[in-house]
Structure 1
């Protein structure tokens, strides 16, 4: 009976994994240079030359990654109104939505010894550092892995409020 239970659990996991959004997201932005280009765009880089100089990336790799990010709807490409020969790359709302992802990875890297930055992200209004990105319950409690469980989306549908 334990084997049947394990098989059912693995079948459920496989079914959920096949419809998970994570592999598609990682495919689009999970490569080192794509992520660094995204970080650059979040920090105000807009032109090909700025990305190349700021990242030290080869032109052909930069061109390829920019094209993929544009095709994926993360960046949009437009003629520079000040110089029609140049192109401006800007974040789409979909690209701006990746800010918490980038910040969470940066915070994780700092915590686990992959570098310590000399600058921190702060609230423009108050000039105070932003809080650590974490998983938060509906009532504001910070949650750890042991506090979490998966439930079916139709089960959760009636539990969300309009503000969520």
Structure 2
């Protein structure tokens, strides 16, 4: 693996262990050129999945499923909330597993967005509303008010 510090291609694995949720392997590596240490994660990928995104004018774009992109968007919604990185990883791993085991080569981005919303709804209501505000493209304060009141009503039930 290439060193992220000096781009040298010869690095050695110094330590390997499973992550807490046993969905990936954490590897500590050291560059043989500059001596820098860094961590990599190895995950099982069951199949190649393409995400289909709908554009403004009805056109569709396709891109490969990117776990790190999904993880960033969930982490952004959970920023400054009492949600552990482990819980975020569990949510993202669960969504990734669902997407890869669904048996479909192409998955609409809307379906993944709904999976994220459902997961965040169970974890943290503020993160859920934050994600929804971007996902559902809230344009004014009234949109937040209406959505937040529907979340409060659902919580009472």
TM range (shorter): under 0.3
Greater relative CO, 1 or 2 (CA 8 Å, sep 6+): 2
Q: Which has the larger radius of gyration?
A: 1
Structure in which a larger fraction of residues adopt strand: 2
**TM-score (norm: length of structure 1):** 0.26
Structure in which a larger fraction of residues adopt helix: 1
